Structures are given as structure tokens and as C-alpha cells.
Amino acid sequence: MNNDLHKLQPYPFEKLGQLFQGVTHNGDRRHIALSIGEPKHTSPAFVKQSIIDNIDKLAVYPSTKGIPELRQSIAQWADKRFALDAAGLCPNTQVLPVNGTREALFAFTQVVADRTHIDGLVVSPNPFYQIYEGAAYLAGMTPHFLPCQPENQFIPDYDAVPESVWRRCQLLFLCSPGNPTGAVTDAATLRKLIALADEYDFVIASDECYSEIYFDEAAPPVGLLQVCNSMGRTDFKRCVVFHSLSKRSNLPGLRSGFVAGDADILADFLKYRTYHGCAMPVQHQLASIAAWNDEAHVQENRRIYQQKFDSVLSILDGVLDVQRPDASFYLWPKTPVTDTEFARGLFQQQHVTVLPGQFLSRTVDNINPGENRVRMALVAPLDQCIEAAERIKHFVQS
């Protein structure tokens, strides 16, 4: 058996299950889950219809590279969203469809890993999406975590990273907007990281799957390709972005996203994926085209999140130390007691589930940046988010 499997940690929800073992809610309130980051708004009707209309494609083997029409739609979407130059992304060489970013982040790490260097590092934010860590271990590399602290707006302090780490770095994961902090990495930081990637010869994987959940229609989060473009780096060398329809379009069950960027890296990624066997079903590709081609449903999606953040934050104001994030659908408040005590007590007393921050992060040099924070995903319907916020207020005040 693969020994590296032993390095994998239980998933945060398994840890939550253990924390709640033997704990029951001692009232009769309905359960409200703010713990799982699964979008719950309605999936677009035209996407569902597209799958029905194309269901005969079940009889077709899909190709790993995807149909040209999908890559074209994705390239057009990304060109517009990230203000890329007239040439924009080449749909043939700089775009690949993936079955959601989760599998892509994992598989991509296996492709980047150069096993001739036994001390290769995957540099990751902390807290972080757990796939980054598992992907690093299973690629024979070691994760190196950088704390995301409030004093640096929840962005790692990249200036504090020693040269010895950059020398060993093979892959740098960015998560912007971040899960669970919602923090957006700004253009100046991205420029600095691109320069470091050139200097130390590593790849940047920018997980931007929350990029479309933001609050100001006039100021969407900046992306890595956009910054490359503004530097005249239209080959996107060493840079690859990960996007998804899961959050943007409320389609987590479609398993549809894309990677885009450096054509040389994507050529190797395509080779890997051919063997990995992860082609997207054609009816899902056609449904994805419909989703990428439409922005009205995404604006409506943002409007609903905005409403939820406004309501919940007005209830929690003065109750918890909590701020509106730059983007994403998460709140990342400080807890007045330990995060695990808070989550357990809240469940027992108020039947509301939140995720302890320490389950989303690792302790490095005796510091766990997730400790004494919880992640609240505002995915439930507005009335439930409001009710949950009221219950949290009662819990804290009691």
C-alpha cells in the first residue's frame, strides 16, 4: 500500500463528527447547518434543461480535452472577466475543462511534482482547503504552511518567507478569494509572487473558485491571469488558474470547472489526465457552455448573498468580532471561547452547526491560525441564515 496515505488527515467534517459525538441538541429547534460550504441557491433552470435535451450523449465517450465549443466559451468568459488582451486565452492550448476544481487541484499537483528533488515543497496558505495538503503528500512532496492572520488582512506575509523555502518550492497554492477567510490577494502581491516564481522556478496554482461571489458589482476580485496580462505576460508562464461553476452558478453536482494558463504546463496536465481518466461527460460540457455564457443568474446569486451578509452582520454586530470578507460566502469570526467549545455549545444549545477553525488549519511553530475562529457558510436560505444569526447572538449573550 502507498505509505503516504498515512499522512492524510481526517477531513474537517469527520473531525466535526467526532467533536459532536454524544452531544445532542436539548431543545426542539430545527437544525441549521452553516458548516458545509455547499451552495444551496437554485441551479439555473436552463442548465438543467440543457442536460435533459442532451441526455442522448450518454452514448458518447467524452474526450479529455473537451469539445472545442466548451473551451471557446470558457476562453471568452475568462477574457472578458479578467480583461485579457485582444488575443486572450487560446482555447486550444491554454484552457482545459475539469470535473470541478477539487479533482483538478489534486491531479495538477501530481503533474507538477518533480520527484528528482526529494525535498520539494508545496507552499500553501494556512487555513486552507484540505486538498492542497493531501495532493502534496500523495505527490511525494511536503506542504509548507504560511499563516493567514488578521494583522495582514488574512493574506500570508510572503516577505517573511525565507529564501530556503522558495528554493525548495515546486508549487505555490493561492486561494483568492480565500476559504475560509474570504480574503482577496491584491494585484501587487500577485506581481511579487510571479517574480518569485520566475526567480526560483516554481509554478503558481491560483484557486479562484470563489471569484464570482463578491459584493461590489463594480469591483470584482482580481485574478492571476489578469495580473499576468497587465504585465504583458500573455503566455501566462508558470501560472495556472482554477475556476468552477459550483459556487458561481450553484452547480456543485455538475462537477464542472476549468484550468487555464501556461500552455506548456497544460499540455503535460492533459497528458496526465488522459491516463487519469477524468473526461467530462458531453452533456455536462454542453450544460457548462450554457452556464458560462450567462451572467444574469450569477448577478442574482450575488444579490442573494449580499442580502444574507447584510442581515447576518447587522445581527452579529457587537456580538462577535466579525467582519464582512472581501469576497466568498464565508464569515470567519473570532470566538469568545475556544472554537471547538463554541461549536459544540452552539450545536447543543441552539442546534446550529459551524466549523471550528482549527479543523481547517495546522499548527506550525505552536501557532494554529484557525484556533478561536469558526467558519460560517451563508449558504442556507435567507430566513435560516437570519434565524441562525439570532440563535448565535443568544448563545454568545448567554
Closer residue to ligand PLP, CB minimum distance, 108 or 166? 108
Check binding of 129 to ligand PLP (CB under 6 A).
Answer: yes
Q: In angstroms, give the least distance from the CB of 255 to ligand PLP.
A: 7
Taking CB under 6 A as the rule, which mask of x and - marks residues 151-190 in contact with ligand PLP? Answer: ------------------------x---x-----------
Q: In angstroms, give the least distance from the CB of 344 to ligand PLP.
A: 23
Closer residue to ligand PLP, CB minimum distance, 133 or 207? 207
CA distance 299 to 71: 23
Check binding of 207 to ligand PLP (CB under 6 A).
Answer: yes
Taking CB under 6 A as the rule, which mask of x and - marks residues 297-336 in contact with ligand PLP? Answer: ----------------------------------------
CA distance 95 to 51: 22
Give the SS3 label for residue 395.
helix
Scanning the structure block, which residue is given the C-alpha cell 493561492?
174
Closer residue to ligand PLP, CB minimum distance, 194 or 213? 213
Q: In angstroms, give the least distance from the CB of 329 to ligand PLP.
A: 10
Rule CB under 6 A: choose which of 101, 229, 283, 301 binds ligand PLP: 101
Rule CB under 6 A: choose which of 71, 102, 302, 391 binds ligand PLP: 102
Contacting ligand PLP within 61-100 (CB under 6 A): 100
Q: Using an 8 Å Cβ cutoff, are 158 and 189 in contact? A: yes
* Count of chain residues binding ligand PLP (CB under 6 A): 13
Check binding of 124 to ligand PLP (CB under 6 A).
Answer: no
Check binding of 209 to ligand PLP (CB under 6 A).
Answer: yes
Strands 374-377 and 330-331: antiparallel
Question: Dihedral (C-alpha) 251, 95, 222, 326: value to the nearest 10 degrees?
Answer: 30
Check binding of 259 to ligand PLP (CB under 6 A).
Answer: no
Closer residue to ligand PLP, CB minimum distance, 288 or 350? 288
Q: Which residue is nearest to ligand PLP (CB)?
A: 100
Q: Using an 8 Å Cβ cutoff, are 309 and 378 in contact? A: yes
User: CA nearest 131: which of 194, 193, 197, 175?
Assistant: 175
Check binding of 252 to ligand PLP (CB under 6 A).
Answer: yes
Angle, to 10 degrees, between the axis of helix 339-350 and the axis of helix 12-19?
A: 60
* CA-to-CA dists, residue 136 to 5, 204, 326, 368, angstroms: 11, 14, 28, 20
Count CB-CB contacts under 10 A for residue 164. Answer: 9
Q: In angstroms, give the least distance from the CB of 232 to ligand PLP.
A: 29
Closer residue to ligand PLP, CB minimum distance, 94 or 246? 246
Copy the grid coordinates of residue 151.
494583522
Taking CB under 6 A as the rule, which mask of x and - marks residues 19-58 in contact with ligand PLP? Answer: ------------------x---------------------
CA distance 331 to 326: 10
CA distance 222 to 211: 8
Contacts of 182 (CB under 8 A, 6+ apart): 154, 210, 325, 326, 327, 328, 330, 331, 332
Check binding of 212 to ligand PLP (CB under 6 A).
Answer: no
Rule CB under 6 A: choose which of 125, 257, 325, 370 binds ligand PLP: 257
Q: In angstroms, give the least distance from the CB of 270 to ligand PLP.
A: 19
CA distance 76 to 235: 16
Rule CB under 6 A: choose which of 176, 246, 249, 361 binds ligand PLP: 246
CA distance 252 to 60: 23
The residues binding ligand PLP (CB under 6 A) are 37, 100-102, 129, 175, 179, 207, 209, 244, 246, 252, 257
